[in-house]
Amino acid sequence: MANKLKVGIIGLGSMGSTHLDIYSKIKEVEVIAIADSIQSRLDGSSKAEGNISGQAEGGVTGLSAIKYLDGMELIENPDIDVVDICVGTDLHFTFVEAALSKGKHVLVEKPLARTYDEAKQIIQLAEQSSTYVMSAMCLRYWPAWVFLKEAIDSNAYGKCLSLNFKRQTSFPGGAFYSDHNQCGGALLDLHVHDTDFVNYCLGLPEAVFSQGYKGPSGGIDHIATHYIYNQSDLSPLVSSEGSWTMQEGYGFNMSYTANFENGTLSYLLEQDETLKLFRSGSEPESINLKEGMGYEFEIRTFVDEILSGNSTNHDLLRQASETVAIIEAEKTSIETCSLVSIKI
Ligand SMILES: NC(=O)c1ccc[n+]([C@@H]2O[C@H](COP(=O)([O-])OP(=O)(O)OC[C@H]3O[C@@H](n4cnc5c(N)ncnc54)[C@H](O)[C@@H]3O)[C@@H](O)[C@H]2O)c1
């Protein structure tokens, strides 16, 4: 293909390596530059690991790309069309701002930013920019969650009565995850997936009630939240629990249970038949899902949007920013042991 999109990836940790692997399978793009402040990650003598199978598969060995020790230098390269930001969350705002100032398309890992104030600034910059900006909220593209959103939107099994999400893992370790000032603890880093998915499906809750405790990041590393919607219109009962305080060896798991008037959907990552539908009077049914992880569908969508000349989906981007506001309300709820209204 003559004019491939030229991508530069900043940060070659577990997520940067995952993105690198996915780009290598998309024929319309070419990764022409990579940046990491750790030399051994650039030359391939050390490599990050993922916490689910299929993550962090990309490697730099044999990759013909310009290598930078500082992501800011990569952004200065005029040949790069797309900057993919996979550094720690506390650095997202700085790199998004720099990349947009140089007219690059931007994919930024989740959560959109470390704080809601920074997330709002990203929204403003994206609105002023003519390039495509996307927040990598991968769960929105994960086949079992795509199925669930469609079931809710279409009323395929009747009205949704309750939703419960769970995401639990042993502590990931490493400098970034060990400092809640950088990563925001499991509350922001891990649980943000479920809070964002609730926001994506049902819109902003009126309030949240959360409880949690601190863990190895020094911040909230185990959290349980009830998302409060207006009960007068009989909205579903919604809750989620996230943790990275499981003992070593537990690994990673994610699951959901969605109860509808005429069916119950149950997903568990570790099962052979991961998504099941239960309906009274029928045998349990296994749902065939599209093969693949959310990351690849997310990046495919990002590339397709740029190649089609579409402008940023500002509604989805704004939603990712408001998700950070919900997370901050969850933190306040834990600290005050009270119901906290969501004020945007
Ligand atoms: N979508 C998901 O499921 C998912 C999973 C894991 C992590 N993440 C997100 O991805 C981001 C990165 O997480 P990770 O696990 O890959 O972290 P990581 O610490 O493993 O990797 C970050 C990398 O960025 C590099 N870096 C830091 N400052 C830099 C700079 N100025 N220039 C160039 N490189 C620099 C570090 O050396 C490190 O290699 C976080 O925001 C995290 O929340 C998302």
Domain boundaries, the chain: 5-137, 140-295+325-341
CATH number of the domain at 5-137, out of 2.40.50.140, 3.40.50.11540, 3.40.50.720, 3.40.50.300? Answer: 3.40.50.720
**Which atom of ligand 1 is nearest the CA belonging to 295?**
1
Report the run of H or E that residue 134 belongs to, with start and end: strand 133-136
Q: pLDDT value at position 274?
A: 85
186 and 215 Cβ atoms separated by less than 8 Å: yes
Question: Does the beta carbon of 109 lie inside 6 Å of ligand 1?
Answer: yes
pLDDT of residue 41: 93
By the 8 A CB rule, do 8 and 71 touch?
no
Query: What pLDDT score was predicted for residue 186?
Result: 98
Residue 197 is predicted with a pLDDT of 98
Both structure tokens of 218:
């020094």
Cβ of 185 below 6 Å from ligand 1: no
DSSP string, 31-93: EEEEE-SSHHHHHTSS----SSTTSS----TT---EEESSHHHHHH-TT--EEEE-S-GGGHH
The CATH topology of domain 140-295+325-341 is Dihydrodipicolinate Reductase; domain 2 (3.30.360)
Ligand 1 centroid to Cα of residue 330, in Å, is 24
Given this model, what pLDDT does residue 46 score? 79
Residue 1's pLDDT is 56
Which atom of ligand 1 is least distant from the CA of 183? 43
C-alpha distance from residue 249 to each of 169, 180, 243, 255, 276 (Å) = 9, 23, 14, 18, 26
Per the prediction, the chain carries an average pLDDT of: 95
Q: What residue's CA is closest to ligand 1, atom 4? A: 15
What contacts 107, CB < 8 A, 6 or more positions away?
Answer: 19, 82, 83, 84, 85, 134, 136, 299, 302
Residues of the chain with pLDDT under 50: none
Residue nearest (by alpha carbon) to ligand 1 atom 6: 15
pLDDT of residue 167: 97
Tell me, what's the pLDDT at 233?
Answer: 66
